[in-house]
Amino acid sequence: MQLSTGIAEVILLLVSSKLVTGGNYGGGNYGGGSYGEANYGGGHYEDKQTWTYELKAVETHSDNPDLLSFSDWKVDRISRGVYAASGSFVLNYDIVEGDDNEIEINSYRSENGVKDYRPIPFSVQRQHLHSYLNTFYKDLAMDTLKDCSNMPVFEDQFEPPLEKKTYTMNKCQFDQSGFPQHLQDGFYKVILSGYGSVNWYMSFVVEVQNVMY
């Protein structure tokens, strides 16, 4: 299966729009530049964005709730461009090194949010959960989640297993500061998919609108 640790950060990254800048994370590059540098998508980001966003929909599914279940997921708007996410998921088994639990992320854009969602060039290639924790999760989500959830926190490498337990987020706040200055209007969908002991997904739809200052 693929598990929980991806769930919270996809909310964070989606609504913050890191997921819609383009690029393939799993291949070692992100947005056209070497990941970990100050520039994503080919240039340095300025402080003021010309866009705002609204989270429109969240959907979850598990084909075996006895192994993995989701509950009480919600997103509240705190202020313009700032949201807080809360929810939990129950993992009823340990995820260990060398098992078949894998995860991938794909993203899409639609002009009107009704149909014709087309793939956009951002993905996290399918990989074992532990690889995902040591790269994408550690680099882009862990600092945000460490003070508002019981998601894994580590300094160097994640030490397996990912334990059987209930993982919770309690009003984890995130805003759009530090992200691309420009984004195209439209509806963006990000789908986090897990495979293995249980197949599951979480999908998120965000509407992006340009604003005038």
Domain 48-210 in CATH 2.70.220? The answer is yes
Domain residue ranges of the chain, discontinuous segments joined by +: 48-210
CA distance 166 to 87: 10
87 touches 168 (CB < 8 A)? yes
83 touches 8 (CB < 8 A)? no
Q: What radius of gyration, in Å, describes the C-alpha atoms of the chain?
A: 16
> How much is the pLDDT for 122?
79
Which parts of the chain register pLDDT below 70? Answer: 1-47, 81, 174-179, 213
| pLDDT, tens digit, 9 for 90 and up, residues 94-146 | 999 999 999 999 999 999 888 789 999 878 999 999 999 999 999 988 988 89
CA distance 77 to 84: 7
Sheet hosting strand 68-79, strand order edge to edge: 68-79, 82-91, 165-175
